[in-house]
């Protein structure tokens, strides 16, 4: 996986701006520690940082078509993996295309030369890339179907800036770190249901999942190339289970393609265990060795009582899965002090306030994984696809006139100062975002009642709940140069399961019953039937104490920038009364609100964010 960035300008000669394009590219060094490259012309500058995964020697970027020509047809800066690139390469070869490398990057380039913007419809993979058509003087920004790989852009007076992460755009003096009312609303009211395309910073956009953005001298336009379509599901339960198993097995096998060491992330739940078991079967068929697996744990976790979100410890289930599948396993134990030390690295990775200690522990897990592997497969997105979260099964949440995971919860917007709240209007902002989201649901003709509502919930889960999870995994993993692949996000699997009725997805009311039954023969029963248990949060006492002390320091500092947004008196009352602050996360965690408060302050300072 890699980092891409660039600058299009119709008036400035970018051949004289090499230093700035290099500066933009250098901000993405963690995403691509293996190589870097910059390509410049009068109107376009493209930068690339490379994490070598396929064709280590030949996949240098930016990739130029016909590099010896005075004016190449196209130049590509690509971040991603195409899992069907070998089939596409054969098809393109039959159409007369020659290839200089073994990389999937060249397949992307030649696919666009053959099919134009329609090429993206043919891709199966995770990707976000920029293609400069020199002859047409046109930039194309493209993002994968579900938005697994990020890509941001900013339209300035005479062109466009873009990058895999906001930090690349921020490195150009044409863009300033500013926060307006919409950004405040996204940060405080909708951190768990972000608006597609919104980049938090004023004027920063994100290419939406399944979309492409075309930039010419006269116009910038967005176009959707993929979306879910609703149609009647005619397969019976046996065929449905078989199809899910077949699609998932094919996806996992495709995603094992790598020229560098690969592993899986194993939590002991049915999602990651199924991915691991299918990977082990594929490895055995290919004559390769055992699968390497990793999990995360914390000192003292066995002393923590279960709750509605974290229903059981991972360790016993991880052990059962490891013994049954036969993997080479490592449990990464994360102590308090390491969590505290990782906070700044995580903030810099995400370019915005995130999920605090949950981000920090993930960063430390990924850092340890990266010591021996470059690619990891994850069970992310199975709950959104098969209905595993509690809100799918809670009548009150289903009936709520809002995002179901926000039902009955208080967001950090409750802490906004009265004057800020009057301008931001977080309640109205959230309500409008919910209405827009419902309007995007692809309806099935004649579907009514509970079935219609469940379809809405699944669409909300895939388009509003899943994106921040995918963003978190990408940004935190790439901060240590680790590529995480997510087989459950294969668009073919998503398209199929989307139309499976709820009675088959949750037979007998069993959460994720369809998935459990489809992989039952692969796993021990206690793993297959383990109830949903969320990503673990640390029971660390010291972490909470340090953040509490930091919050009191902010209260005592009259120049704390966070209190330009947040009501100082409200925070002081909550701390004095021992009440937890409202958290941006839906998982119960008494330190989540403190984390958010302190991180917002750290972010405003570190990024020198001005308020508009």
Percent of the chain with pLDDT over 90: 85
Quote the CA–CA distance of 221 and 219 in Å, as a whole number.
6
Quote the CA–CA distance of 233 and 230 in Å, as a whole number.
9
- Reply yes or no on whether the pLDDT at 541 is more than 90: no
CA atoms in the 13 A half-sphere facing the CB of 445: 2
The reported pLDDT for the residue numbered 353 is 97
Contact yes or no for 535/361 (Cβ under 8 A): no
Q: Are strands 63-64 and 74-82 parallel, antiparallel or unpaired?
A: antiparallel
What are the phi and psi torsion angles at 35 (to 5°)? -165, 165
What are the phi and psi torsion angles at 183 (to 5°)? -65, -40
Domain ranges of the chain: 2-224, 237-393+468-528, 541-611
- Reply yes or no on whether the pLDDT at 331 is more than 90: yes
CB-CB neighbours of 428 under 10 Å: 11
34-38, 160-164, 345-349, 588-592: the lowest-pLDDT one: 588-592
Contact yes or no for 465/384 (Cβ under 8 A): yes
CB-CB neighbours of 218 under 10 Å: 6
The reported pLDDT for the residue numbered 144 is 98
pLDDT tens for residues 151-174? Answer: 999 999 999 999 999 999 999 999
Stretch (H or E) spanning 156: strand 152-156
CA atoms in the 13 A half-sphere facing the CB of 162: 34
Is 489 in the active site?
Answer: no
Quote the CA–CA distance of 8 and 139 in Å, as a whole number.
8
Contact yes or no for 240/514 (Cβ under 8 A): yes
Structure tokens belonging to residue 32: 């691509």
Taking each helix axis from N to C end, the angle separating 426-439 and 181-188, rounded to the nearest 10 degrees, works out to: 80
- Reply yes or no on whether the pLDDT at 281 is more than 70: yes
- Reply yes or no on whether the pLDDT at 540 is more than 80: no
Quote the CA–CA distance of 612 and 609 in Å, as a whole number.
10
- Reply yes or no on whether the pLDDT at 585 is more than 90: no
Q: Are strands 262-265 and 292-297 parallel, antiparallel or unpaired?
A: parallel
User: Using omega within 30 degrees of 0 as the cis cutoff, is the peptide bond preceding 62 cis?
Assistant: yes
- The whole-number average pLDDT for the span 371-383 is 96
Quote the CA–CA distance of 360 and 366 in Å, as a whole number.
10
For residue 93, what are the CA distances in angstroms to 6, 55, 109, 113? 30, 18, 13, 13
Q: What is the DSSP letter of 44?
A: E
For residue 162, what are the CA distances in angstroms to 11, 50, 159, 211, 530? 17, 17, 10, 15, 43
Band of pLDDT at residue 336, cut at 50, 70 and 90: confident
For residue 376, what are the CA distances in angstroms to 54, 266, 346, 413, 463? 14, 10, 19, 36, 24
CA atoms in the 13 A half-sphere facing the CB of 95: 12
The reported pLDDT for the residue numbered 522 is 98
Contact yes or no for 14/44 (Cβ under 8 A): yes
Percent of the chain with pLDDT over 70: 96
Band of pLDDT at residue 8, cut at 50, 70 and 90: very high
Quote the CA–CA distance of 500 and 531 in Å, as a whole number.
22
- Reply yes or no on whether the pLDDT at 589 is more than 90: no
Contact yes or no for 379/267 (Cβ under 8 A): yes
Nearest residue to 489 via CA among 560, 389, 385, 351: 385
The reported pLDDT for the residue numbered 308 is 63
Helix (H, G, I), strand (E, B) or coil at 24: helix
Query: Per the CATH hierarchy, to which homologous superfamily does domain 2-224 belong?
Result: Aminohydrolase, N-terminal nucleophile (Ntn) domain (3.60.20.10)
pLDDT tens for residues 409-463? Answer: 999 999 999 999 999 999 999 999 999 999 999 999 999 999 999 999 999 999 9
- Reply yes or no on whether the pLDDT at 303 is more than 60: no
Helix (H, G, I), strand (E, B) or coil at 122: helix
pLDDT tens for residues 226-262? Answer: 999 999 999 999 999 999 999 999 999 999 988 889 9
Class of domain 237-393+468-528: alpha beta
Structure tokens belonging to residue 213: 């953005």
Mean pLDDT, the chain, as a whole number? 94
Catalytic: which of 2, 30, 263, 489?
Answer: 2
Q: What angle do CA 122, 439, 211 make, to 5 degrees?
A: 25
Structure tokens belonging to residue 475: 């940004």
- b/e sequence 524-553, b meaning 16+ C-beta within 10 Å: eeebbebebbbbbbbbbeebbebbeebbee
CA atoms in the 13 A half-sphere facing the CB of 161: 22
Q: Are strands 610-611 and 178-179 parallel, antiparallel or unpaired?
A: parallel
The reported pLDDT for the residue numbered 71 is 72
Question: Between 286 and 142, where is the model more confident?
Answer: 142
The reported pLDDT for the residue numbered 239 is 98
Nearest residue to 251 via CA among 366, 378, 149: 378
Place of tokens 């768990």: 192
Kindly write down the DSSP assignment for every residue of 533-544, as one continuous string.
-PPP----HHHH
pLDDT tens for residues 33-80? Answer: 888 999 999 999 999 998 777 656 666 789 998 766 667 889 999 999
Q: How far is CA 544 from the centre of its chain?
A: 27
The reported pLDDT for the residue numbered 140 is 98
The reported pLDDT for the residue numbered 39 is 95
Contacts (Cβ under 8 Å, ≥6 apart) of 203: 154, 155, 175, 178
Structure tokens belonging to residue 421: 């709240």
Helix spans in 371-448 (H): 382-386, 395-399, 418-424, 426-439
């Amino acid at each position: 996986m890699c980092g891409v960035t660039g600058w299009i300008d119709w008036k400035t000669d970018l051949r004289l701006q090499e230093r700035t394009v290099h500066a933009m590219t250098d901000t993405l060094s963690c995403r691509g520690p293996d190589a870097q490259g910059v390509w410049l012309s009068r109107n376009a500058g493209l930068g690339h940082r490379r994490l070598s995964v396929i064709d280590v020697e030949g996949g240098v970027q930016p990739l130029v078509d016909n590099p010896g020509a005075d004016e190449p047809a196209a130049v590509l800066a690509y971040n991603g993996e195409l899992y069907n690139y070998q089939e596409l390469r054969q098809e393109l070869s039959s159409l007369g295309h020659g290839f200089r490398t073994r990389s999937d990057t060249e397949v992307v380039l030649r696919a666009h030369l053959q099919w134009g913007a329609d090429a993206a419809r043919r891709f199966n993979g995770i990707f976000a890339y920029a293609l400069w058509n020199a002859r047409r003087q046109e930039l194309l920004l493209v993002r994968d179907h579900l938005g697994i790989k990020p890509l941001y852009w900013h339209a300035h007076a005479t062109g466009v800036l873009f990058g895999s992460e906001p930090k690349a755009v921020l490195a150009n003096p044409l863009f300033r770190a500013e926060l307006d009312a919409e950004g405040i609303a996204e940060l405080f009211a909708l951190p768990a249901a972000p608006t597609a395309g919104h980049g938090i910073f004023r004027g920063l956009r994100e290419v939406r999942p399944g979309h492409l953005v075309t930039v010419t001298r006269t116009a910038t336009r967005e176009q959707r190339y993929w979306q879910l379509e609703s149609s009647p599901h005619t397969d019976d339960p046996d065929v449905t289970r078989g199809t899910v198993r077949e699609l998932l097995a094919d996806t996992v096998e495709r995603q094992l393609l790598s020229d560098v060491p690969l592993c899986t992330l194993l939590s002991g739940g049915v999602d990651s265990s199924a991915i691991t078991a299918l990977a082990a079967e594929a490895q055995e068929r290919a004559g390769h060795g055992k699968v390497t697996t990793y999990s995360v744990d914390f000192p003292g976790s066995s002393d923590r009582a279960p709750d509605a979100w974290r229903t059981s410890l991972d360790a016993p289930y991880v052990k059962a899965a490891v013994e049954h599948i036969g993997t080479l396993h490592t449990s990464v134990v994360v102590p308090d002090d390491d969590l505290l030390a990782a906070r700044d690295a995580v903030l810099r990775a995400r370019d915005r306030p995130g999920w605090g200690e949950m981000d920090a522990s993930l960063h430390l897990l990924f850092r340890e994984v990266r010591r021996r592997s470059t690619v990891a497969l994850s069970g992310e997105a199975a709950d959104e696809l098969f209905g595993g979260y509690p809100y799918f099964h809670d009548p009150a949440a289903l009936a709520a006139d809002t995002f179901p995971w926000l039902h009955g919860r208080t967001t950090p917007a409750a802490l906004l100062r009265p004057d800020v709240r009057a301008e931001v209007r977080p309640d109205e902002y959230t309500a409008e975002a919910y209405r827009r989201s419902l309007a995007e649901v692809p309806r099935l003709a004649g579907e009514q009642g509970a079935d219609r509502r469940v379809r809405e919930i699944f669409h909300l889960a895939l388009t509003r709940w899943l994106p921040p999870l995918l963003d978190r995994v990408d940004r935190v993993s790439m901060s240590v140069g680790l590529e995480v692949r997510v087989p459950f996000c294969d668009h073919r699997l998503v398209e199929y399961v989307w139309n499976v009725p709820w009675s088959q997805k949750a037979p007998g009311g069993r959460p994720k019953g369809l998935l459990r039954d489809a992989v039952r023969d692969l796993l021990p029963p206690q793993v297959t039937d383990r109830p949903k248990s969320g990503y673990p949060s640390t029971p660390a006492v010291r972490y909470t104490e340090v953040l509490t002390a930091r919050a009191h320091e902010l209260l005592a500092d009259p120049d704390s920038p966070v209190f330009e947004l947040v009501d100082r008196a409200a925070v002081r009352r909550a701390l004095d009364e021992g009440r937890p602050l409202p958290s941006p996360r839906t998982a119960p965690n008494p330190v989540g609100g403190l984390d958010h408060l302190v991180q917002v302050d750290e972010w405003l300072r570190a990024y020198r964010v001005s308020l508009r």
